[in-house]
Structure 1
């Protein structure tokens, strides 16, 4: 997806539906496809889609939704494109982009915009030409889409390899699991213990925090350039603007490798690291698991089903609470249009709805007594 963003830019998908197909698309996991579709927002796409296939069947079944698989299988031919379309894509699509996944190398996207895509092999020269700092202080694996079981398992394999070879990590590594189920299962299968072997690891709750710039980051008070290396595209512009932050986006494997090396220009494919014995070592290729062999598990996923008959349910909220309040009915519209309203914010350029909502929240905070 980082490659696609570099090709289409943040506006290239505007007004378009992006459809991924081909044997490369079929080889991806369902959670991998989910990440790609989620990041369609970074290219301005109306929506993104993959055809229904075996990886989706496996994921749905593994997460306890066999009934969805059974229903989808009955209409499977309608949940993907026609063979004729895929055989002659130039006739049916406005634009065709072909990417050979066997030749695709890791990318780093950023800073300040998710479409500035640089292959890791070219990053050092580009950083020097643009004056980007190269030392990394913080690295984050996780957001709502980039922290699946597969993501964590592959990143954990990088950390385990580095620890086994006596390499001391240089940067702080944050882990933000994508859900309570993923966190519980990753804990059970030892992946979070792998990250804890990383001397500077921080395991966060599975909630919004670092990936939207909402965190008390160590070192943030330093009045100097600070680099943040993260999986979340939202962080690119949400850190406090009084300090110049350099944020980059990469895969979970690359984030782990860069955190270990402490440098953005580290290329795990070709570069070596010096271990505590003074030896030069190379990191092995990451290994991971699409789905847990023991199945997903969770003690409490945080969901409480509503009562079948809620007519007698009373929600008690203290009238003096400064955190919660019941939503009261809005006054009925008087039939007249609003006039004389003031514009609170005008957004332009590389701005998402998240930026607008946060700006609106800040406006409300400033107005509050």
Structure 2
């Protein structure tokens, strides 16, 4: 068992009591964020009404997650702390150092050779100090954490800015620097300024082309890249329960783009189903026993303006797809207005590459909805007008998607399947182009689109959208195409229209994987030698 069941048992046994103590001492109802924060105070006896945005508070997170680029320094520091084992469950994920070039079958072996000394070091340190290790190709840190470690009501720090992805399962998960992670792993208190809390009331239900990604794309336009600074975004309302767990994670993931400390969703049936679907029935059962305190108190929900520092309302039923950009993720534009924006600003109209995946949108549901579009090409007599690159989020997602025919659907349409890693999203894209400085346009399902972010070209106009919209634009090859209203000319000269995307939230046959890429730590770290080449220029 990869996740620490005993730690979670202890957590859930005491959680209700801690929330009740907090409610009593503060003398008022509590938001979900407050329940989780106060139940993780480093000193349980220090409960008082901390002033949001002012007071610095010490916390005791439940676990730590590290990606390979930032884990190197963090683990070197931890080795010098004099500890024999991490004080909390921790994992290392090799996802950042893999270049996206020709496809997984070529790129992964190259990365394993190029980064061998880093991987050997991380694996040996992890084994010695009781830390779980996820091999290169196992998946993107945040997707793997969601599938294996995130749990409702918990608190985690991770050495990557998109750690808040775990908020999709009702967890307070915060991106930190390596030194902060070391503090937590050594058992020290972890300090954070008590965040403000922004409440986002979701009403209605998504339909048609609208996707969970569009919720955060719209919100980014409202808050801007700084509007969430020193704040937790807490979602509430009947609309939350209509969004899948992975869809919730997508929304929380990109909260980093508005500067939020983290984001969180309340516990619901979708989270229960995801926990069970990923083999964590016991976690789901424990969470169900404290379900009332894994959401905001009823008084908060009936009078949100009294408890949140700011309240924003979004009607999911009226939400249309968004494309944000270029050069900043808060330049939000609804699909119906995007053509006019492209023409008015003189953006390169030809859409040259579509890229889907990343930690933000690489779940089974994401790939399924995109695959439902490429599957239409054969039936409607169409072909991809632009290249499509696909980065599955994990080996679990890849193997399940392959079994269910989705990988074959992508490949038949001409898409290239990249390694289960970050790839182009973080600039690890070795793009083949006729001119590395030429103005051009791409559409991605990533989270960031600042100049040079994806391919190093300052003139690449990158627009952030859902996987469905990125795929539709790759099919059309035209930024002025609106898949909701426009038609395409097929091989018979006929005008045809794409059907709205569909996709299962979870695989009907369950998840499957041959080797998920996890390596458990040694039972006796004393016998493990940390591998560092004395001539190393990297370590």
Please state which band the TM-score falls in when normalised by the shorter chain: 0.7 to 0.9
- In structure 2, do the counterparts of structure 1 residues 49 and 222 end up closer, same or farther at CA, with 3 Å as the change threshold? closer
> Residue 92 in 1 paired to residue 307 in 2?
yes
Q: Which runs of 5+ in 2 are unaligned?
A: 1-215
The count of residues paired between Structure 1 and Structure 2 equals 323
Q: CA deviation at 1:234?
A: 2.8
CA distance in 2, matches of 1:185, 1:36: 23
> Which residue of structure 2 lines up, in the alignment, with residue 170 of structure 1?
385
> Residue 304 in 1 paired to residue 515 in 2?
no
Q: CA deviation at 1:219?
A: 1.1
- In structure 2, do the counterparts of structure 1 residues 188 and 242 end up closer, same or farther at CA, with 3 Å as the change threshold? closer
> Which residue of structure 2 lines up, in the alignment, with residue 147 of structure 1?
362
- In structure 2, do the counterparts of structure 1 residues 112 and 6 end up closer, same or farther at CA, with 3 Å as the change threshold? same
More strand by share: 2
> Which residue of structure 2 lines up, in the alignment, with residue 108 of structure 1?
323
> Residue 229 in 1 paired to residue 443 in 2?
yes
> Residue 279 in 1 paired to residue 494 in 2?
yes
Q: CA deviation at 1:4?
A: 0.5
SS in 2 for 1:17: strand
Does the 8 Å contact 2:488/2:496 carry over to 1?
Answer: yes
Q: How does 1:324-339 map to 2 (within 5 A)?
A: 325=539
CA distance in 2, matches of 1:235, 1:245: 9
CA deviation digits over 1:83-133, x for unaligned, max 9?
Answer: 121122122222221111111111100000000011111011111111111
Q: CA deviation at 1:259?
A: 0.5
Q: Which runs of 5+ in 1 are unaligned?
A: 326-369
- In structure 2, do the counterparts of structure 1 residues 222 and 18 end up closer, same or farther at CA, with 3 Å as the change threshold? closer
> Which residue of structure 2 lines up, in the alignment, with residue 57 of structure 1?
272
Q: CA deviation at 1:316?
A: 4.6
CA distance in 1, matches of 2:482, 2:298: 39
* Aligned with residue 157 of structure 1, among 357, 372, 391: 372
CA distance in 2, matches of 1:220, 1:305: 45
CA distance in 1, matches of 2:531, 2:229: 45
Q: CA deviation at 1:163?
A: 2.5
Q: How does 1:1-369 map to 2 (within 5 A)?
A: 1-199=216-414, 201-219=415-433, 221-237=435-451, 238-239=453-454, 243-320=458-535, 325=539
CA distance in 2, matches of 1:45, 1:243: 26
- In structure 2, do the counterparts of structure 1 residues 244 and 69 end up closer, same or farther at CA, with 3 Å as the change threshold? same
Does the 8 Å contact 1:138/1:229 carry over to 2?
Answer: yes
Alignment RMSD: 1.6
- In structure 2, do the counterparts of structure 1 residues 92 and 316 end up closer, same or farther at CA, with 3 Å as the change threshold? closer
CA distance in 1, matches of 2:305, 2:315: 17
CA distance in 1, matches of 2:512, 2:456: 41
More helix by share: 2
SS in 2 for 1:164: helix
> Which residue of structure 2 lines up, in the alignment, with residue 337 of structure 1?
none
- In structure 2, do the counterparts of structure 1 residues 242 and 60 end up closer, same or farther at CA, with 3 Å as the change threshold? closer
- In structure 2, do the counterparts of structure 1 residues 242 and 293 end up closer, same or farther at CA, with 3 Å as the change threshold? closer
More displaced stretch, 115-124 vs 70-79: 70-79
CA distance in 2, matches of 1:220, 1:321: 36
Does the 8 Å contact 2:427/2:456 carry over to 1?
Answer: no
Q: CA deviation at 1:226?
A: 1.7
Q: Taking structure 1 as the reference length, what is the TM-score of the superposition?
A: 0.84
CA distance in 2, matches of 1:241, 1:65: 41
